[in-house]
A and B are shown apart, each in its own frame.
Chain A
């Protein structure tokens, strides 16, 4: 699917909308910056007004009017129900099993939903040193459901990770710019494609022999309500 293609929406917008649709009202979401933040905020502004946004900077119940650039922007604290310290956030709230859904991104994913956001190449002599795991290792094991958002290319969907930053046990869905993958018997399986995307496109963008569900559905394009809410949050339509 091309950016701003036939339907008048971008690949990022399709990703945000599809991830947002999976956030049920009342869900407590641990949110990172970028697309996950866009998706969770979109859910809160459409069908899930009572979902709770938790940012790792310690803001619980943040209600930003525009998308923050960093997880520590002042508006998150201003609009939060409470602000807690970082040790409290990770110990009491995340490890304390208070979070339903955690969003993660990464540079690489494998067929089991394991993620790499640490290095490309050897750890001690990296070709590319990435920012690192941050909260990801314990988010991946401390929330009930992990939602992954990641653009799909053969370089990001790999047979073997260069480094396992977080484990995929709790990954329930991977939303990409091409479609939707869900684990079936522990292996990510293509269950949906976005409008205008062929199953073969997705297969070609995957670095392993991708398992395809029997009944691959076609994602509903973003509705006018979804697009309008999305563009209020992020007028430029980028993440």
Chain B
């Protein structure tokens, strides 16, 4: 149940899969994303409401052929330059996009978790409906016309959480995002955690994911960096600002990925490489 992250990614993420690494600014599974890049997974359809730095990295490394998303920026900073380069110039490879609104994508995940074929909402006024997969359905009771979005059913969901117990039950708290829906909508699930404890202590407002809806739990302390884990460490806002510069230039981006991701074996070495960079700066 609790396995090395390298093994979890190797066994559960396949080339061509639809993969959702979820996290709404909090608990973003960066360590898992880095392992996907290290293993050179290809042709992935990446799904995430708010693809930020970790998807910028995977797209820039050529792991993705498609991105399904609802807001693709560097929160509080600006654009994602690798995403832009892929969309605007096809570098390093062409990237198909399927764009939704937050409300639409949240409804699509909830429909997937509920094993329904589509999600329904009032929305999609404006031009996006002409460029994405959304249809109109009529309420059979009131006649009201509503937007329908196809359910999201990822092959793999990957989320980060604060704790797992020894049997692989997982607890996460703070900003919850859409992780529960992503896990329950997916065929396979990987959870990385800050720590493994003997027994989970109930937390106010927490979600518990029982071990039997999870395929692999991997220990990855600091595995959300530069995102954060509520109660463990804060968001590294300086890193998000720095990423704007690092990611602007293709060569600088590749050099950064080489040094801090491809040339490191795991999350411990990743953090050591960042610390060494600060020490030599």
Binding site for B on A (CB under 8 A): 33-34, 56-59, 68-74, 76-77, 82-87, 89-91, 94-95, 114, 118, 123-124, 126-138, 140-142, 163-167
Q: Is the CB of A74 within 8 A of B230?
A: yes
When chains A and B are docked, how far (Å) is the Cα of A133 from the Cα of B79?
13
B235 interfacial contact with A, CB 8 Å: yes
Q: Who on chain B is nearest to A133 by CB?
A: B101
When chains A and B are docked, how far (Å) is the Cα of A70 from the Cα of B239?
13
- Residues of A within 8 Å of B127, CB to CB, are 118, 123, 163-165
Among all A-B residue pairs, the 7 with the closest Cβ atoms: A72-B25, A131-B73, A134-B71, A70-B75, A69-B76, A138-B103, A87-B106
- Interchain Cβ contacts under 8 Å between A and B, 17 examples: A58-B24, A69-B76, A72-B25, A72-B177, A74-B26, A74-B174, A77-B174, A77-B230, A85-B178, A86-B178, A95-B121, A118-B99, A123-B127, A133-B99, A133-B128, A137-B126, A164-B126
Say whether, besides A33-B75, A69-B75, A69-B240, A141 and B122 are in contact (CB < 8 Å).
yes
B88 interfacial contact with A, CB 8 Å: yes
Q: Is the CB of B128 within 8 A of A137?
A: yes
Q: Is the CB of A87 within 8 A of B88?
A: no
B107 interfacial contact with A, CB 8 Å: yes
Say whether, besides A83-B175, A95-B122, A137-B124, A70 and B25 are in contact (CB < 8 Å).
yes
Measured CB to CB, the closest approach of chain A to B109, in angstroms, equals 7
Measured CB to CB, the closest approach of chain B to A162, in angstroms, equals 9
Contact digits for B212-236, partner A, Cβ 8 Å, 1 yes 0 no: 0000000000000000101000110
- Residues of B within 8 Å of A124, CB to CB, are 131
- Residues of B within 8 Å of A85, CB to CB, are 176-178, 180-181
B66 interfacial contact with A, CB 8 Å: no
When chains A and B are docked, how far (Å) is the Cα of A126 from the Cα of B86?
11
When chains A and B are docked, how far (Å) is the Cα of A141 from the Cα of B72?
21
Q: Who on chain B is nearest to A116 by CB?
A: B127
When chains A and B are docked, how far (Å) is the Cα of A166 from the Cα of B124?
8
Q: Is the CB of B25 within 8 A of A129?
A: no
B170 interfacial contact with A, CB 8 Å: no
When chains A and B are docked, how far (Å) is the Cα of A76 from the Cα of B230?
11
Q: Is the CB of B76 within 8 A of A70?
A: yes
Contact digits for B11-25, partner A, Cβ 8 Å, 1 yes 0 no: 000000000000011
B102 interfacial contact with A, CB 8 Å: yes
In chain B, positions 183-212 with a C-beta closer than 8 Å to chain A are 205
Say whether, besides A74-B234, A138-B123, A132 and B72 are in contact (CB < 8 Å).
yes
Q: Is the CB of A86 within 8 A of B235?
A: no
When chains A and B are docked, how far (Å) is the Cα of A135 from the Cα of B121?
13
Measured CB to CB, the closest approach of chain B to A36, in angstroms, equals 12
How many residues of B are in contact with the other chain, CB < 8 A?
Answer: 51
Q: Is the CB of A91 within 8 A of B121?
A: yes
B110 interfacial contact with A, CB 8 Å: yes
Q: Who on chain B is nearest to A68 by CB?
A: B76
Measured CB to CB, the closest approach of chain A to B84, in angstroms, equals 5
- Residues of A within 8 Å of B72, CB to CB, are 129, 131-132
When chains A and B are docked, how far (Å) is the Cα of A142 from the Cα of B147?
14
When chains A and B are docked, how far (Å) is the Cα of A129 from the Cα of B84?
6
- Residues of B within 8 Å of A128, CB to CB, are 84, 88
- Residues of B within 8 Å of A70, CB to CB, are 25, 75-76, 235, 237, 240
Q: Is the CB of B175 within 8 A of A58?
A: yes
Say whether, besides A69-B237, A72-B25, A165 and B122 are in contact (CB < 8 Å).
no
- Residues of B within 8 Å of A34, CB to CB, are 76
- Residues of B within 8 Å of A123, CB to CB, are 127, 131
- Residues of A within 8 Å of B126, CB to CB, are 114, 133, 137, 164-167
B137 interfacial contact with A, CB 8 Å: no
When chains A and B are docked, how far (Å) is the Cα of A137 from the Cα of B80?
21
- Residues of B within 8 Å of A73, CB to CB, are 25, 235
Say whether, besides A77-B174, A85-B180, A129-B83, A134 and B106 are in contact (CB < 8 Å).
no
Q: Is the CB of B125 within 8 A of A137?
A: yes
Q: Is the CB of B178 within 8 A of A87?
A: yes
Say whether, besides A77-B230, A91-B107, A56 and B75 are in contact (CB < 8 Å).
no
- Residues of B within 8 Å of A132, CB to CB, are 69-73, 99
B151 interfacial contact with A, CB 8 Å: no
Measured CB to CB, the closest approach of chain B to A166, in angstroms, equals 6
- Residues of B within 8 Å of A126, CB to CB, are 87-88
Contact digits for B103-126, partner A, Cβ 8 Å, 1 yes 0 no: 110110110000000000111111
Say whether, besides A86-B102, A130-B79, A131-B72, A59 and B125 are in contact (CB < 8 Å).
no
- Residues of B within 8 Å of A84, CB to CB, are 176
Of A82, A87, A127, which is in contact with the most chain B CB atoms at under 10 Å from its CB? A87
